[in-house]
Amino acid sequence: MLTPKTDAYGGLVYAHYKGLSSAEIIERDDHWFGISTGAPAYFAPFEEWPSVERHAMQLVRGRVLDVGCGAGRVALHLQPRGHEVVAVDVSPLAIKTCRLRGVRDARVCSVTQISRRLGEFDTIVMLGNNFGLFGSLRRARWLLRRFHGLTSPTARIIAESRDPYRGATAEHRRYHQLNRRRGRLPGQLRIRVRYGHARTPWFDYLIVSAPEMREIVEGTGWQVARLIETSGPIYVAVLEKATRR
């Protein structure tokens, strides 16, 4: 479990909840650093969400698993609509924040710990580019098969990602080339989050184009049934269970 020294993400989420400074620094393994939009986006009310995410919420049905729940914005939107939501995140401080904000069922749980012990779900939500939590091609396929077994026959996965090639700068294109040489997908990031004196362990975060996502899900029991696209690199994919032939 993450500790206060390693739960940098949760630290900035909880700090924002307390009204404190909450700048999120992303460090990549090629020594690139960036500052994300950070905590304000994690707390945004539904009316301020990107249109692609608001559209995606219309497709949610039944019992919901919110993967990488952060500050709980998805659960807090869906609970009043009558959905039972289980919100999970690897960050103890993020889960503490969720509970303080009114998320009814928030649990410390990494994506690899998700199992049938959580029950059966009709919708799995992975907003905020959280398709990235699959980490790698191999782990994505393994987890998608696992998700197939803990969801209802008509279940959906609503997953947000971004095309890593659209608008990529020279430094990001060089990183894509580095990944190709390492035998990794170009958009497979090796990163950690920093906040104050805390920093997370290094972890993989998978950014993929829509064609790459289609290839990843093939043979896992899922298919890309719909894409909700924008004029930029961000998109939401709606995965549904593949029809057996």
What domain count does the chain have? 1
Match 């972890």 to its residue by tokens. Answer: 203
Q: Is there a domain that residue 149 lies in?
A: yes
Structural domain boundaries, residue 147: 49-188+204-241
Q: Is there a domain that residue 115 lies in?
A: yes
Per this entry, what is the length of the chain? 245
For residue 36, the model assigns a pLDDT of 85
For residue 126, the model assigns a pLDDT of 98
Q: Do 45 and 206 meet the contact criterion of CB atoms below 8 Å apart?
A: no
Strand partners, 20: none
Checking DSSP bridges between strand 106-108 and strand 85-89, what pairing results, if any?
A: parallel
Q: Is there a domain that residue 108 lies in?
A: yes
For residue 21, the model assigns a pLDDT of 84
Q: Is there a domain that residue 22 lies in?
A: no
Q: How far apart are CA 146 and CA 62, in angstroms?
A: 19
Spell out where 129-187 has E strands: 151-162
What's the pTM? 0.96
Q: Is there a domain that residue 13 lies in?
A: no
Q: Is there a domain that residue 209 lies in?
A: yes
Helix or strand holding residue 89 (H, E): strand 85-89
Q: How far apart are CA 239 and CA 148, in angstroms?
A: 11
Comparison of pLDDT for 21 and 198, the residue scoring more: 198
Q: Select from 73, 70, 140, 142 the least CA-distant residue to 108.
A: 70
pLDDT digits (tens, 9 = 90+) for 213-245: 999 999 999 999 999 999 999 999 999 999 764
3-state SS assignment for residue 181: helix
Q: Is there a domain that residue 58 lies in?
A: yes
Q: State mean pLDDT over 38-43.
A: 90
Q: Is there a domain that residue 122 lies in?
A: yes
CATH of the domain at 60: 3.40.50.150
